[in-house]
Amino acid sequence: MQSLIPWGQWGEGEMRSFKPRCGRYTGLYVLIFLICLLSVRPGTAMTLRQAVRLAVASNPDVRASRISEASSELKFETARKNTWPSITLNGSYLVSSTRNGITDFVGANGSREKDLTADLIWPIFRGGALQARIDGAGAIVKAGFHQTETNRIKVAGITASAFIRASGLEQIVKIYSTFVDQLGEHLRKVKIAYQNGTVPEIDINRAETALEQTRSKALSLKEDSARAREMLSILIGGNPEGPLNVSDWGGLSPLLSKDITGLTEKMVNNFPSLKASMARIMAARASVRVAKAARLPKIDIIAGTGWQTVGHVRTNNIGWQAGITISFPFFDAGLRERRLEISRNSLHEEEFLKDTVLRHLRQSLVDDVRLHDRSLYILQSLNHAVLTAGKALREARAGYREGVLSHLELMDAWRTLTDIEVNRWNAMMELKDSSYRITLLTDGERGIFR
């Protein structure tokens, strides 16, 4: 049995035998350390663009629109191929028998028949209905594409609003948390001053009351922030890691009310829901053409060939035929006229729906521009008010230390600065939300990702 040797009494041989084992395990330890180091990455703040991409990619309405768009493309291909000739192959094998007494005979008293035919039908005239169906199916494809874009913009707008609210509330919670910390520190100093006999006891009560009120407000804002973040998580399909990025909130956009005419024209030319409405109007017009074509005759080219074996003697017949068929609608109790009237009503309905969409979009643009400019005015005044309130707080602190100002005056200066900063963030939230909605109306989803 090998004896244990204390570390300090190891000889050179024992040290040499230990070094290879130590070197082998050292490499393994270094590898594990590097893996752990690389796996621990600092959380990066999610940006609005990332949130919109995630929301659009996971939204079920957008996925359903893509499936509907693919079905419309298949219908378009079907309408195009309806102009091609169709070929039908038919085959049969029949056995017949005759009864003689109580015995069935097949052969001398029966027969076998074999048929194999090929028929061709080529529609050459439908009164323009074939081309109208192709045009209508193509218009539905365009409408489906623009409807998918509309759904993407809708999801992007909802996600942008949710992101702006969640990220703005995070900043407001930070402001109130800082204010709570300042009030707690001030309460500690007031208690020390009261023990030294320099302030009355009522200052302690006022400081404690202000701290509890502010702490309650901060707790309520944290709950609002958590709910806003949860709503954003539902939209993007997962909980965002780390804080939300608000680094691009500093810039101020110009006033937009002076260019409302240009923005409206840009929206009318670019917004996909209007393009989808126009495509549906084109499809409705094609339906009217199809209904009108039902009054006209139908002309087809037909051809066929076949092979037939008849009887027990196996007589083979081979033949072909070709010709033109004309089918003219004579009487259907007014069904064609009713279908035409239904198609025209559908066309008028689509035209009215397009006007409704345009009116709604114009009103939304006007409201967003007004909100944008109002928020911009408020934010500009609040930026100046923050500087003024910060200077007043510094003067109030100095006056309180010198005994010139009371505790209430110092608390008022603190609360004024906090309220102005919170109002400033609320104004920035409204400004950013209205800016993104205007961008989506005029430039679509691509306007966000520029």
The total domain count for the chain is: 2
Question: Has residue 375 got a pLDDT over 70?
Answer: yes
Question: Is 23 among the domain residues?
Answer: no
Average pLDDT over every residue of 1-14: 42
Residues 405 and 350 in one domain: yes
Residues 112 and 174 in one domain: no
Percent of the chain with pLDDT over 70: 82
Q: CA 425, 428, 433: angle at the middle one, nearest 5?
A: 130
pLDDT given for residue 378 in this prediction: 93
**Residue 288: which CATH number?**
1.20.1600.10
pLDDT given for residue 410 in this prediction: 81
User: pLDDT tens, 44-103?
Assistant: 778 888 888 999 999 999 999 999 999 999 999 999 998 898 888 888 877 766 555 444
Torsion angles phi and psi, residue 105, rounded to 5: -120, 135
Q: Which of 18-22, 328-332, 410-414 has the lowest mean pLDDT?
A: 18-22
pLDDT given for residue 1 in this prediction: 38
Question: Has residue 367 got a pLDDT over 50?
Answer: yes
Domain stop point among 305, 328, 351: 328
Name the most confidently modeled range: 25-34, 122-131, 192-201, 305-314.
Answer: 122-131
Residues 52 and 114 in one domain: no
Average pLDDT over every residue of 2-24: 45
Residues 193 and 247 in one domain: yes
Question: Has residue 40 got a pLDDT over 80?
Answer: no
Residues 245 and 257 in one domain: yes
Instruction: pLDDT band for 423, please (50, 70, 90 cuts).
Output: very high
Residues 348 and 219 in one domain: yes
Question: Is 307 among the domain residues?
Answer: yes
Question: Is 37 among the domain residues?
Answer: no
User: Containing domain of residue 115, as a range?
Assistant: 86-125+297-328
d(CA 293, CA 33): 79
- CB of 245 closer than 8 Å to CB of 48: yes
Question: Is 9 among the domain residues?
Answer: no
Residues 391 and 257 in one domain: yes
Burial class for 411, CB neighbours closer than 10 Å (0-12, 13-18, 19+): buried
The SS3 call for residue 312 is coil
Question: Is 39 among the domain residues?
Answer: no
Residues 193 and 259 in one domain: yes
Residues 387 and 274 in one domain: yes
Q: CA 374, 225, 212: angle at the middle one, nearest 5?
A: 100
Instruction: Record the tokens describing residue 50, joined without a space.
Output: 């990332």
Question: Is 428 among the domain residues?
Answer: yes
- CB of 272 closer than 8 Å to CB of 149: yes
Question: Is 42 among the domain residues?
Answer: no
Between 307 and 221, the more confident residue is: 221
Residues 197 and 281 in one domain: yes
d(CA 324, CA 326): 7
**Residue 111: which CATH number?**
2.20.200
Domain stop point among 328, 347, 376: 328
Question: Has residue 172 got a pLDDT over 60?
Answer: yes
Residues 121 and 132 in one domain: no
- CB of 324 closer than 8 Å to CB of 300: yes
Is pTM beyond 0.95? Reply is no
Question: Is 26 among the domain residues?
Answer: no
pLDDT given for residue 25 in this prediction: 53
Residues 315 and 271 in one domain: no
Domain stop point among 285, 312, 328: 328
Backbone CA torsion sign across 14, 15, 16, 17: positive
DSSP 330: -
